[in-house]
């Protein structure tokens, strides 16, 4: 064991400060800000569906990049690493603990996809990892951790989610409408893009573990916050605003 | 995977099992905590208490490890309690909403009796 002061260290600054409700501050231009302001946070215990731990890894063999280099690049370039159908908009402050990252995505399930505007809280960020936590209405309820670590002298980049579908509609979507496959495609895209930056072409290793196969029926009412439904219902309002020239 | 920097001991107290945690709770602590949890669960113990008095640090992956322990406890119909958390980590438990399922207490006696 190392001799360190117990519990209170400057690493504690890596955690977001406690919040009851999310507040979106300086949203980037082009980001649709819906279903985030005023929402509470939901963790792996508060969602509806089966709880899954999904781990996506890519080895950066031959890359001259430390763990810290990779995570710094990841934080700085998070939006450009995402695919076109899942846009991330960090606040102007960047990927920092307590900041809110807006997400504008398109989910499968109907021709052209279903638009969803949501976001996540940057729950934790240090120089080796950053984690996000979902709000009410997000397709998932839980955490996503983006990290890097050293494995036998090679830097490995990893995305690990610990989450369940937030409500019955999302659970159905993940299981039967291609939501789960889309999620896997997105994280493969991010990791291969990250590896590509370092000149590495490699396979993404995926491991999925069902941590809890129970459905939490007492959370079925989470559907009232469903961001896909709310984004869709909001479409006429957005169209009217565009028509009359209001932001 | 980060290097594990954790030591655990398991002891029985008034029918409950206490896991003393010394060091850091992160992804690398998964094996140590899982082993301690298995040991603590033997004999049909219904209350498992995590002693965080000597916790040095916990990151977000560590919170994830605790979630998986909690799910195992729920599956075994066990209560999972904790004590010894600093104010900072009590806030983290509230932020991540772990406090809704893990009982947080100020003393071992309260956590064991709960």
Check CB contact under 8 Å for A1 and B5.
Answer: yes
Chain A CA closest to residue B93:
A18
Name the residue with higher pLDDT: A204 or A179.
A204
Using one digit for the tens of pLDDT, what is the confidence trace for A94-127?
A: 899 999 999 999 887 666 788 899 999 999 999 9
Tell me which residue of B58, B52, B43 sits closest to B18, measured CA to CA: B52
As beta bridge partners, residue A144 has: A132, A161
- 3-state SS assignment for residue A213: coil
What number is the average pLDDT over the span A210-230? 96
Cα angle for residues A37, A184, A137 (degrees, 5° grid): 20
For strands B47-58 and B16-25, give the pairing.
parallel
As beta bridge partners, residue A106 has: A115
pLDDT band at A34 (very low <50, low <70, confident <90, very high): confident
Using one digit for the tens of pLDDT, what is the confidence trace for B9-57?
A: 999 999 999 999 999 999 999 999 999 999 999 999 999 999 999 999 9
Question: Would you state the pLDDT for residue A2?
Answer: 42
pLDDT band at A5 (very low <50, low <70, confident <90, very high): very low
Q: Of A5-14, A178-187, A210-219, B79-88, where does mean pLDDT reach its minimum? A: A5-14
Check CB contact under 8 Å for A43 and B88.
Answer: no
Question: Would you state the pLDDT for residue A246?
Answer: 59
Contacts of A133 in chain B (CB under 8 A): 95-96
Evaluate the CA torsion angle B33, B38, B42, B47 in order and state its sign: positive
The nearest CA of chain B is from the CA of A205 a distance in Å of: 15
* B49 neighbors B16 (Cβ within 8 angstroms): yes
Residue with tokens 């963790």: A43
CATH 3.40.1210.10 fits B15-106, yes or no: no
pLDDT band at A223 (very low <50, low <70, confident <90, very high): very high
Tell me which residue of A53, A48, A44 sits closest to A166, measured CA to CA: A48
Chain B CA closest to residue A4:
B56
Check CB contact under 8 Å for A43 and B7.
Answer: no
Sorted by where each starts, the structural domains of chain A and their CATH numbers stand as: 21-212 (3.30.530.20)
Q: In which element (H, E) is residue B66 found? A: helix B60-75
CA A13 → CA A77, A162, B59, B84, B88, distances in Å?
A: 22, 23, 11, 20, 10
User: For chain B, what is the largest distance between any 2 Cα atoms, rounded to a whole number of angstroms?
Assistant: 37
């Amino acid at each position: 064991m190392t001799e360190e002061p117990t519990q209170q260290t400057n690493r504690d600054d890596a955690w977001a400060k406690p919040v009851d409700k999310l507040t979106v501050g300086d949203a980037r231009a082009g980001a649709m800000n819906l279903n985030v302001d005023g929402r509470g946070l939901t963790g792996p215990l508060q969602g509806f569906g089966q709880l899954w731990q999904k781990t996506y890894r890519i080895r950066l063999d031959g890359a001259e990049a430390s763990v810290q280099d990779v995570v710094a690049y990841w934080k700085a370039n998070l939006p450009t690493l995402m695919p076109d159908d899942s846009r991330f908009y960090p606040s102007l402050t960047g990927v920092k603990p307590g900041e809110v990252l807006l997400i504008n995505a398109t989910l499968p399930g109907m021709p052209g996809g279903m638009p969803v505007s949501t976001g996540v809280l940057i729950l934790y960020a240090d120089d080796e990892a950053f984690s996000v936590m979902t709000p009410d209405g997000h397709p998932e309820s839980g955490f996503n951790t983006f990290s890097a670590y050293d494995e036998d002298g090679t830097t490995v980049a990893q995305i690990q989610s610990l989450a369940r579908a937030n409500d019955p509609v999302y659970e159905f979507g993940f299981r039967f409408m291609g939501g789960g496959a889309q999620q896997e495609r997105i994280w493969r895209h991010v990791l291969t893009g990250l590896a590509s930056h370092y000149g590495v072409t490699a396979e993404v290793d995926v491991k999925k573990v069902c941590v809890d196969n129970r459905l939490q029926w007492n959370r079925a009412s989470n559907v009232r916050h469903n961001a896909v439904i709310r984004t869709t219902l909001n479409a006429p309002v957005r169209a009217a605003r565009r028509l009359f020239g209001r932001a | 995977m980060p290097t594990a920097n954790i030591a655990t001991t398991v002891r029985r107290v008034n029918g409950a099992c206490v896991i003393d945690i010394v060091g850091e709770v992160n992804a690398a602590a998964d094996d140590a905590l899982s082993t301690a949890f298995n040991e603590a669960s033997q004999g049909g113990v219904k209350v498992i208490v995590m002693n965080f008095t000597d916790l040095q640090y916990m990151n977000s992956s560590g919170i994830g490890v605790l979630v998986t322990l909690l799910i195992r406890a729920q599956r075994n119909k066990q209560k999972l309690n904790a004590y010894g958390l600093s104010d900072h980590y009590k806030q983290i438990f509230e932020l991540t909403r772990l406090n809704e399922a893990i009982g947080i207490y100020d003393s071992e006696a309260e956590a064991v009796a709960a």
